Amino acid sequence: MVAAQDARQVDIAYEITFGGISGFRIDVTARFNGSKYDVETTTYKEGMLKAVTMNYVGRNRAWGGFTTQGAQPTAGSLSISVDGKPRTWLAQYGAAGFLQEIHTPVWKPTPQQTISDADRKDSLDPLTAALSVGFAGDAACDKTVRSNDGKRRIDVLFRKVGMEPASATGIPGARGDVLVCEIYTKRVSGEFDEAPKEAETERERPIRIWLARFDDTQIRYPGKLEAQTLFATIRGKVLSFRERPLTPEEAANIRR
Whole-structure pTM value: 0.91
Q: Which residues have CB under 8 Å from 105's CB, separation 6+?
A: 87
Contacts of 247 (CB under 8 A, 6+ apart): none
DSSP per-residue string spanning 52-88: HS--EEEEEEEEEEEETTEEEEEEEEEEEEETTEEEE
- The answer to whether 117 and 93 have CB atoms below 8 angstroms apart is no
Whole domain around residue 231: which residue ranges? 5-252
Q: Which helix (H) or strand (E) holds 235?
A: strand 233-245
**Peptide linkage before 105 cis (omega within 30 of 0):** yes
The number of domains in the chain is: 1
Q: What is the pLDDT along the chain (256 residues), one digit of tens a residue?
A: 565 578 999 999 999 999 888 889 999 999 999 999 999 999 999 987 788 788 899 999 999 999 888 889 999 999 999 988 999 999 999 877 778 999 999 999 999 999 999 999 999 999 999 999 999 999 999 899 999 999 999 999 999 999 999 999 999 999 999 999 999 999 999 999 766 554 455 545 799 999 999 999 999 999 999 998 888 899 999 999 999 999 999 988 888 7
∠ Cα 234 239 245 (to 5°): 135
* 144-154 per-residue burial string, b: 16 or more CB within 10 A, e: under 16: ebbbbbbebbb
